[in-house]
Structure formats: C-alpha cells, structure tokens
Amino acid sequence: MATTTPAGVRGGHAKQGSHHHSSDGAPMTHRQIMEALTGLLLGMFVAMLSSTIVSNALPEIIRDLDGTQSAYTWVVTAALLSMTVTTPLWGKLADLFSQKLLVQIALVIFVIGSALAGISQNTGTLIAFRVLQGIGTGGLVALSQIVIAAMIPPRERGRYAGYIGATFAVATVGGPLLGGVITDTDWLGWRWCFYVGVPFAAIALVLLQKTLKLPVVRRKVKIDWLGAFFLAASVSLLMIWVTLAGDDYDWISWQTYAMVGGSVLLGLIFVVVETKAAEPLIPLRFFRNRTIALTSFASLFVGVAMFGSTVFLSQYFQLARDKSPTMSGVMTIPMIAGLFVSSTVSGQIITKTGRWKGFLVGGGVGLVAGLGLLSTITYDTEYWKVAVYMAVLGLGLGMMMQNLVLASQNQVKPAELGAASSLVTFTRSLGGAVGVSALGAVLSSRITHYVEDGLAALHIKPGGAAAGGNTIPDMDALPKPIRTVMESAYGDGIADLFLYAAPIALVGLVLVLFVKEVALKSSNDDAPQSAQAEPGTETADAAAATQAPVAAAPPATGRTLHGTVRTAEGTAVSHAAVTLISLAGRQLGRAVAQDGRYALDAPAAGSYVLIASADGFQPQASTVVVADEPVAYDILLSGTSGLTGTVRTADGGLPVGDAMVVVTDVRGDVLATGKSAEGGEFVFGELIPGTVTVAVNAAGFRPVALPVEIGGQGVTRVEVVLRSGALVRGTVRGGAGRRPLADARVTLMDAAGNVVAGSTTGDDGAYAFADLDAGEYTVVATGYPPVAGALTVTGRGVDGHDIELAHPGE
C-alpha cells in the first residue's frame, strides 16, 4: 500500500464584524462609520429629493411650459435614462479612482444640472438639463451603495441598509410635500423645486470632505468609453421608440422594426465590445454567477413595476382626485411609511440572523399584491382603500430594493463591488426608464380611449385638447360634466398602468424564487470565488447555488465566539466539532455545529485557540482574541479527498508493481509519494481538492505525468498507463590498450535517420540512452574517425553496446 506525506493545512478565516478599515488601515468604529455615512446619506437624500420633489410639481410645470403628456414622460425618463446609462460607468470609475472624489464630483454635476433646470423656459431645455441632473444622480445613487459596501461587511450591511431605507423614505415623503408647498406658494413657484437641493448638496460636500476616509486605488486606468457609447445608444434608441410608438406611428410599423432592430444591433455590438475590453463597463463574467444574474434581471422587472407605476401617482391625485400638489404628497405617505418600515426592520433582522432571501420573496409578493390592488382603483375610490393598497406596495418595495443589491455584493471581491453594485442599480434604472416610457405611452392611449367613451356617453363629439390624452388638462377650466369625464379617464387610465405593471413584477418575483441563499460574509476580505469562475467550470454555479446557513446570532451579553463552519464555496459543514482551549492547553468549551453554526462562551477576555474538525475535512486551529463583547468568527475547512489508481503496461495492460508515484500541486510542491503494490494499485488520502499532477516512473518504462482534478469529497480514481522504455548503455574505447575515451560524441538515430538522442562521454568513456522504444537504431560515435553500428532494441531492460574507435594509423 502506498504511503503519503502530510499535505498542507489551510487556515481558517477570522471575521470580526467590528473591524472595518479606513484609508490608513485602522479599524473604524460604529461612530466613525456613522459620521462618514452622514455626509454620504445627505448626498443620497439630495439625489432622491430631486426626483420626488418634482413629481407633484410636474403637472404644473408641464402646463406652465405648454408641454404634453409625452413631455411629462420625458422629463422623468430623461433623468432616469442618463442615470441608467452612467450608473455602470460610475461603478467602474469607483473601482479605479477615489470613491470619495467621485461622490463629490457627482454632487457638483447634480447641483449644476439642478440650477440649469430651474431656469428652463421650455420643455426641451428642461429635458436636456434633467439629463445632466440624472448623470449626477446616477453617481450619487451608485456610489453610495459602493462606499457602504467598501466600509461594511455584508453580514452587517443590512443594519446600515436600514438607514438608506430611512433616508429614501424621508426624501420620498418630504420631497412631494416640499415640492407641493413650493409649487402652491405664489412667491416661490415650481422653479424653486430645483434650487432647494443646492444648499443640501453644499453641506454634503463639506461633510464628505471631513468625515469620509477611504483608500485611494492607484493603478493603470482603462475606461471602456466605447462600451459606454454603444450602451447609451442602444438604450436611448429603445426609449425613443417606446415614447413615439402608438402616437407618431403604429406599434407595428417599419419605424418599430427599424428602431427595435437598431437597438438590438447596438446592444449586440456592446456585448462584443465588452468581451474584448480590458476594463469592461459591465463584466460579462458576472452573469455566470447565478445569484448576480438572477438579482440583476429581477431588478430590471422590479424597476419597470416600481418606476413605471408610482411615478404617475401624482397625476392620479391631482388630475383624477382634484388635489393640490401639497395634498397629493400627503396622500402618498402610506406607501412611503410601508417602505420605511420594511426597509429598516428587514435590515435589522438580516444583520442579526444573516437570512435575506425570505425578505426578497416577501417583498416580491407585496409588490405584486400592491400593484394588483391598485389596479382596481377609480377616481372616486375611498381614500382609505387606496392608502392600504399603497402601504402594501411600499412594504414590498422596501424589502426588495436594497436586498437585491446586498445579495449581489455578497458574491464578489472588494475590488469589484463597484461594478457588481452598479450592475443591479443599472438594471433597475433601465427597467424604470423603459417602464416610464412604455407605460407613459400606454397611459396617453388609455386616457384618449376613456375620454372618447365618456364624451360619447354625453353625446359630445370628441375633439380639441380635452379629447386627447397627450395634453395635461387644466381641470378648473373645464365644465363640470367634461371635468368628471377627464377625472374618470385619468383614474381608470392610471389604474390600468398598475394592472400592466403587476405581471411584470410577478416575473421579478419568479426570478427571486430561484436565487439561492448564500451565507453573508462577515468580512470584505473573503469574497466567494463564484464571480471569478472561468467558462466551463462549475465554481460559479456551485458557490451561488449552495444554500449555506449563516452564523447564529450572538447572545445579548457575554464574551461569546460565534460563527459558521463552512467550506470555501460557502457550504455549511454540519456536525463539525469546535473546541475552545486556553493557551496552556486546557479545554474550556466544546460545541457541535448544527447546520454549520456554533457558539462558545469564553471565561474571560484574552487569547484562545479554536480547533475545528469534521469527517472528510482537514482539521483547523486558529488563535482568536476575545474582548468583553461577542466576536463573530467564521471557520473555513478544506475538504480532504482520496486518490486511488492502478499502474498498468501499455502493451497487454499488465499491472506494474513497485512504481514510484508522486503527487504535486500546481506550484510543484510535493503533496504525497508512494509506490504501487504488486497488483499496480496505489492509494493516497488526505489530499486537498483541486488540480494536481500525478507523476509515475518505473524501471524499464517511460515516466509519465498526468493532470488530475481531485473532487471536493470522496475518492478520485485514475488509470496510469506506462509505455516500455529500454536503456542502452556502453563504453567508448580506443587507442593503445583500448582505454576508455573521454569527450567522444555518441549519437543515436532511428531507422528513418532521425536523431533520437546524443551524449558526450566522460573520463570513464561511458554513455547511456534511456526510455527507448523497441526497434532498430544506428549508433554513431565520433572523436576518432567515426564509427557507425546497428543496434536492435527489443523492449524493457538494459542493452549493452560498447563501441571501439581506432586511429587510422593503428
């Protein structure tokens, strides 16, 4: 039986949740994190405020600038579109440049765009400046997620995601209210909706400069500008088609074929460009990771449902229910309250338990249910019913938005947090832009349909501005019968939008159901390898598809070590024995990990040794430091696998005994050695999974080396076939006394005249050729006049062939 040498033992990975690092590498306390987040969240508040503060003012803005329903849609879509296209670009820049500087640049761009939007004189310039505003907003939204991910490990990120949800809720609640008050105030007017965010942005810039300290990445920069261009062109062409279809031309027309086909072609070019880019805007390898792919596509459909439906709520309250901009903001509070509660509570629970998939599924159910309920409203539906429906919708949104990003961030290395975060944000914004454009075009058509039906019931021939859905009407200027028709048309038309959005949200829910819950990392230093898998490997699917329980929540008090015993792929190791011993060697506690989770109490603050072992895995020992509070510590165990095989001859398949078998890793380090038994068998145990090289040599045979992939657990079997190899050796002699000749050149040629090998003799005149196949050879020796002789090699063994050289004078 073969013997083995000890294989290397991999260490565990310590993860203490309180150790977040600043630019100088020092740990950041909760207070420092909150100080840094204050400026960041204020910037995020400004970005969100820019959208919500305008929502209730938009009907007034469009009327004042003589705009149309299409212009209403484009004022929203323009900002969403520029935010969508630039989000992955901001994410890539965040992986290359100072994230702090980028946040400040985004704030400046946003301020400039807001100030210019406030002086717009027509809808065209307003839309153009909204594009600039959207670029800044995209940076603030994407970078805020990235910076938080850089400072805080995924396991604790749910706690801070609650603060993001609270910021979102305050901006969403306060924005419409503030916008309504500004619009209703004669000496201010709607233009101040764009100016009001400027002082908040200035304060955010100062706070960020003083409190946000992050490492600056310094490396060669390659921005994928070509990819950004084709992405922007593809998405923009799709937006233009959606906006104009059904109005300027039919949905099924040559214009549709041209625009959709052009958008698809530009998208394909973008994909090709990304495959060749050194620093791709959207790394396509992310989509080989199941979790990232599913969360990204789910975000696309969530964006369609979220933006495409809620953005028209202000029209419902102002045009269908005859409410002022201020009151329309007040009436959306139930939806924002639901979002605030669900995002905050779910974040806190995720931090304590590490479980997040249930909230994603619950959020998807709430989103679909809320949209379905809102599809039943009319212009005269009792408000309490509308409030309940909006609250359900808000609860669903709060549980989905941040957790989709969290699930994606948990799959990548810290250096790629920007690209991964912005990918999910990008797809959500893309869905929102498509949803607003598509549902806006549908709304215009549905309102026209309902108005025509309503006027026909009054025996009024449709015509003029009041008959169409492409003009924002002034309800106060309409006669009461026609006004009722218009209010009913807007109520029913907007309800239809919710009906169309519900099945889209359902697709997002179905995608979420297939997301596998992977343990949230307790540190930013141990990203799973799934996002880095190369094509043709199973690493990505294995890591993303493994549902790994996470560490149990620590007790409220006590010096407790707690965490998860798992493999590098994130799979929990059940029934692992975890032992806590003192530095003097005394056992202080022992636990058996249930579903991979363990918890042990330390008697006092200090240093201890933690030992973990499990059947089929290499044992692990680590030194841990325990303070006067619970410590999160995850343990990685490397699986041990067996390797067995048989060494046989190529001619006849006979077993080869006493063959030397050597196993080396990819670095060339020897992991195990041994000899085959009489029957040719060899066995090794305690090998680390991965690619190894198995080299076999035996007397009379040619050595062979084979690459072998050792599985995660179990025994890998390999057959080694050895070809016969003869050894030819001899001595070259000559001169007086036929003494051995040094420096004689001996050349071996096969029957076809090809040189097989060459050798130069030493002082003893000896030469040798090994690993020869059976056959006819010619041996040529030079030094004196050359001598050539025939040699027949019959197979395994040693053939002697001495050569005598004679001087011509002898």
pLDDT digits (tens, 9 = 90+) for 232-282: 788 778 777 876 776 677 778 888 899 989 989 998 998 898 888 777 777
To the question of domain 21-220+288-513 being in CATH 3.40.470.10, the answer is no
* 8 A C-beta contact, residue 459 and residue 413: no
pLDDT for 570 beyond 90: no
Q: Which of 208, 190, 38 is nearest to 114 (CA)?
A: 190
To the question of domain 726-805 being in CATH 3.60.15.10, the answer is no
CATH superfamily entry for domain 641-722: Immunoglobulins (2.60.40.10)
Range with lowest mean pLDDT among 296-310, 371-385, 391-405, 676-690 = 296-310
pLDDT reported for residue 268: 92
Of 480 and 544, the structure prediction assigns the larger pLDDT to 480
Alpha-helical regions (H) of 524-679: 539-545
Q: β-strand 766-772 against 726-734: which pairing, if any? A: antiparallel
Mean pLDDT across the stretch 306-310?
Answer: 65
CATH topology match: 21-220+288-513 vs 726-805: no
pLDDT for 320 beyond 80: yes
* Axis crossing angle, helix 480-513 with helix 417-457, rounded to the nearest 10: 150
Q: Quick: pLDDT tens for 484-507.
A: 888 888 888 888 888 988 898 898
Q: How confident is the model at residue 206 (pLDDT cuts 50, 70, 90)?
A: confident
Range with lowest mean pLDDT among 35-49, 338-352, 523-537, 747-761 = 523-537
Mean pLDDT computed over every residue of the chain: 74
Mean pLDDT across the stretch 465-470?
Answer: 48
Parse the chain into domains and list their residue ranges: 21-220+288-513, 225-276, 548-635, 641-722, 726-805
Written as six digits, the tokens of 549 are: 């329980």
Mean pLDDT across the stretch 568-577?
Answer: 74
pLDDT reported for residue 616: 64
Greatest Cα pair distance, the chain, in angstroms, is 135
pLDDT for 373 beyond 90: yes
Q: How confident is the model at residue 118 (pLDDT cuts 50, 70, 90)?
A: confident
pLDDT reported for residue 542: 34
Of 525 and 426, the structure prediction assigns the larger pLDDT to 426
Q: Quick: pLDDT tens for 513-565.
A: 888 776 555 544 444 433 333 333 333 333 333 333 333 444 434 577 888 88
pLDDT for 221 beyond 60: no
Q: Which of 569, 590, 475, 436 is nearest to 51 (CA)?
A: 436
pLDDT reported for residue 4: 35
Q: How does DSSP assign 318-378, residue by residue? A: IIIS---HHHHHHHTHHHHHHHHHHHHHHHHHHHHH---HHHHHHHHHHHHHHHHHHTT--
CATH architecture label of 548-635: Sandwich (2.60)
pLDDT reported for residue 394: 87
pLDDT reported for residue 310: 64
pLDDT reported for residue 384: 92
pLDDT reported for residue 546: 34
Q: Give the separation between CA 283 and CA 541, rounded to whole angstroms.
A: 17
**pTM of the predicted structure, to 2 decimals:** 0.53
pLDDT reported for residue 161: 60
pLDDT for 16 beyond 50: no
Of 46 and 453, the structure prediction assigns the larger pLDDT to 453
pLDDT reported for residue 214: 60
Range with lowest mean pLDDT among 122-126, 550-554, 698-702, 767-771 = 550-554
